[in-house]
Amino acid sequence: MNAVIICYALVIGLALPLGLYMAHSLDDDRKAPLDALFRPIEGLIYRFAGVKPDHSMTWRDYAWAVVKLHALLILFAWFTFMAQGVLPLNPDDIAGMRWDTALHTAVSFATNTNQQHYSGQAQLSYLSQTLAIVTLQFITPATGLAVLLAIVRVLLKRKANKQDSASSTTAGVGNYYRDLVRTIVRVMLPVATVVALLLAWQGVPSTYEGAQSIAPLDKGVSISQEIPRGPVASMVAIKQLGTNGGGWYGPNSSVPLENPTAISNIIETVSLLLFPVSLLVATAIITGRRKLMNGIGAVMVAFSLVSSTTAIVSEKMPNAAFIGLSASASPNMEGKEVRFGPEMSAQWASWTTQTSNGSVNAMHDSFNPVGGLVTLMDMFVNVTFGGIGVGLIGYLLYLMLAAFIGSLMIGRAPELLGKPLESREIRWISVAILAQPLTILGLTAITVAFPGLAGTSNPAFHGLSQVLYEYTSAFANNGSGFEGLGDDTLWWNLTAVVALLVGRFLPMLAPLAIAAWLAEKRTAPSGRGSLNMDSGAFVGLTAGVIVIINLLSFLPVLFLGPVAEQLTSGF
């Protein structure tokens, strides 16, 4: 439990200065630190890409730029994965991927999901890992942060809200390429470099040499064992920091080479929340709405503590499969590294699903039913910190819905920060929120209706949970899985691609459009009947809306899956 407290303390302690640095680095109205160092680097990138960074885009141009770049990245990564067998940096002679697995992998990493239907060390070359995978692991989280910056400029920033309607109709939301480059160059690359060096110090491999042959210690055994290596530390650093997930090795950070020590485990655990929490600080400074962001942070922390506590308590309970055995009174250690134990394994599982990270240091498929339920609920909610940028964007969607409900409750026309919420905005808020249950439950229902498609390794309740978890992970851009599932099939690869794309771009770009529409409207002066979004009552209303929407959407399937499994497990 001490290690859990240390992780929370480190996240808060590091997020405050990092959030301050991010605010000054990414806000156009502030003097950026180290500007003399970063500006020439950014200038070279702009000239090479033919970008005019000072040109402000409309929301449509901004969204189209996001879609275009990601379409090109998907095509590039898809080709690289299929052709890796004939490309360089492949010392272990790994063959190219099957087309559907390559497509799923490309879309997965281009949507900041990193859902893996392959085993990294066995099916990807060094070129694929470093050129395709790591490149996407920088660009995709930076895109989420860039879109958040665009929304913040036009919706939350006090200076923008003081503009009259005539000026705000002509105002743009910023330049996507400028936001993207500044985020990568000024924030992600420096922090990831520090974390990579710390991991290499702890023994995580960082080499382009091929697999190492090791002679077993067993006497009389003449067959050598191949130990896969590679530039692991740099990939692990950004996959943790960028809420990317996955791992160099198939079992992710449960492998000693990817996570060798207790110190490396704390470094990687803290990295899960570092940027999402820092963004709360940065957004508060950029917008000047510190009370609002404090309220949002309070809800996120409350959800996090409930999730982490429940997961830890669950995994300290015995495994129902051990009833009658001598180990029946021990904590559930199935699928866990003895080095980390049930507490730090459950903590990681909770944090990796509170964010859209999805990397693991234990197998979620082996968790007790309540522990598995916690990870599912984290992904359903998906705004307990959430992914970089998109977590706060998702929270703003619920905040808009809460403002609509709250305005009606006090007898006023629906408004948000003095801007009227009309049918167009509410329609798209509803579409963005309801897309999640419709996609997840629809695909789950079709898959379990045809057992030959599902590929589950468990019958009854847990088999349903395996299917539900896979689609939930894809839509939530999380990437973790109940790994008893046989998911590298044509059906799983293509249907997961649908969930990946809808779950990434609709909840991210719809709020951008809504923010731009609201910015075009005249701000009504606040009065006695105005909805105070900084108040504790509104904070509680928003938290209630988040809980109720997700319970109404998913409670039945949770009772058919993990709840039924828990009730029939013998505990």
CA distances (Å), origin 417, targets 51, 154, 392, 530: 34, 12, 17, 9
**Average pLDDT of the residues in 69-82:** 97
- The answer, yes or no, to whether residue 30 has pLDDT greater than 90, is no
Rounded CA separation 252/120 (Å): 9
Amino acid 164: pLDDT: 43
- The answer, yes or no, to whether residue 283 has pLDDT greater than 80, is yes
Amino acid 246: pLDDT: 84
**Average pLDDT of the residues in 340-354:** 95
The 10s digit of each residue's pLDDT in 250-264 is 889 999 999 999 999
User: Helix 460-475 vs helix 490-519: angle between axes, to the nearest 10 degrees?
Assistant: 50
**Average pLDDT of the residues in 19-29:** 93
- What's the start-to-end Cα distance of the chain, in Å? 24
Amino acid 160: pLDDT: 43
The chain-wide mean pLDDT, for the chain, equals 91
User: Per the confidence metrics, is the pTM higher than 0.85?
Assistant: yes
Amino acid 165: pLDDT: 43
Residue-wise DSSP of 327-373: GGGS---TTB-TTTHHHHHHHHHHHHHHTT----SB-GGGS-HHHHH
With contact defined as beta carbons under 8 Å apart, do 364 and 253 qualify? no
Amino acid 168: pLDDT: 43
Amino acid 457: pLDDT: 84
Report percent pLDDT > 70 for the chain.
96
- The answer, yes or no, to whether residue 327 has pLDDT greater than 70, is no
Cβ count within 10 A of residue 227: 12
With contact defined as beta carbons under 8 Å apart, do 208 and 131 qualify? no
Instruction: Give me 474's structure tokens.
Output: 């894809």
**Average pLDDT of the residues in 140-154:** 96
**Average pLDDT of the residues in 545-552:** 95
- The answer, yes or no, to whether residue 333 has pLDDT greater than 70, is yes
Lowest mean pLDDT among 41-50, 53-62, 178-187, 217-226: 217-226
Report percent pLDDT > 90 for the chain.
75
CA distances (Å), origin 557, targets 141, 282, 565: 30, 37, 12
The 10s digit of each residue's pLDDT in 165-179 is 444 444 689 999 999
Lowest mean pLDDT among 306-310, 322-326, 363-367, 398-402: 322-326
Amino acid 302: pLDDT: 97
Strand pairing of 212-214 and 225-227?
antiparallel
